[in-house]
Amino acid sequence: MRIPKDIALWLQKTLLEYDGWQWGLVSFAHGQIASVPAGSEAQWQFSVDMIYRTLTCDLIGVDVYMECDERASFLNAIRTVSPFVDSGGLLWNGTQVSGTDCLGKLVEAHFPPLDRRASKLNPAFIEALEQTFTENGMPWSDKPLLPITPTITSAPAASR
């Protein structure tokens, strides 16, 4: 397993929530990860990369775009509008995302039925995710995949 444990646990929990359900995109921007400071540009970058990675690997799909017409404009928008300032509200809270059939099959192969799941890390699931990422040309790395481009109005207050 190459994904750091704290990130792997967050990723597993987040993807299990999206499996079979629709949630706001903002779920990717929130969450307690020890190695990623909350409300920081690093957390924003992490969120953008996880969205981009899971979309590209067909683990999630965008059901409802807010403030965007299609995938390219959406990817540009999440790079330039921070989820941590008021201007990011509609984009990050209104965009609806759900797990795909591909995610469902991956979850089914590595987890018992929903009512018998434990909240501890499943290394086999994380290894399968890493393999999926690699097969789609996105092996795990801490380097940005889709670099954010903060502006004065979209930068988190703590970094101004």
In a domain, 26, yes or no: yes
Task: Tell me how many domains the chain contains.
Answer: 1
Residues in contact with 20: Cβ distance below 8 Å, sequence separation at least 6, in sequence order: 98, 99, 104
Q: Would you say 45 and 112 are in contact if contact means Cβ atoms under 8 Å apart?
A: no
Residue entry with tokens 């646990």: 9
In a domain, 31, yes or no: yes
Q: Would you say 134 and 1 are in contact if contact means Cβ atoms under 8 Å apart?
A: no
In a domain, 150, yes or no: no
How confident is the model at residue 87, as a pLDDT? 59
In a domain, 155, yes or no: no
How confident is the model at residue 137, as a pLDDT? 96
Q: What mean pLDDT comes out for the span 54-69?
A: 93
From the list 1, 132, 149, 5, the residue with the least C-alpha distance to 80 is: 149
Q: Using one digit for the tens of pLDDT, what is the confidence trace for 84-126?
A: 886 568 899 899 999 999 999 999 999 987 766 778 999 999 9
In a domain, 146, yes or no: no
Report the alpha-carbon distance of residue 148 to residue 146 in Å, rounded. 6
Does the pLDDT of residue 158 top 60, yes or no? no
Where helices occur in 57-100 by DSSP H, the ranges are 71-80, 89
Range of the domain at 130: 5-138
Report the alpha-carbon distance of residue 62 to residue 108 in Å, rounded. 21
Report the alpha-carbon distance of residue 101 to residue 114 in Å, rounded. 16
Report the alpha-carbon distance of residue 53 to residue 59 in Å, rounded. 9
In a domain, 63, yes or no: yes
In a domain, 143, yes or no: no
Per cent of the chain over pLDDT 70 is 91
Does the pLDDT of residue 155 top 80, yes or no? no
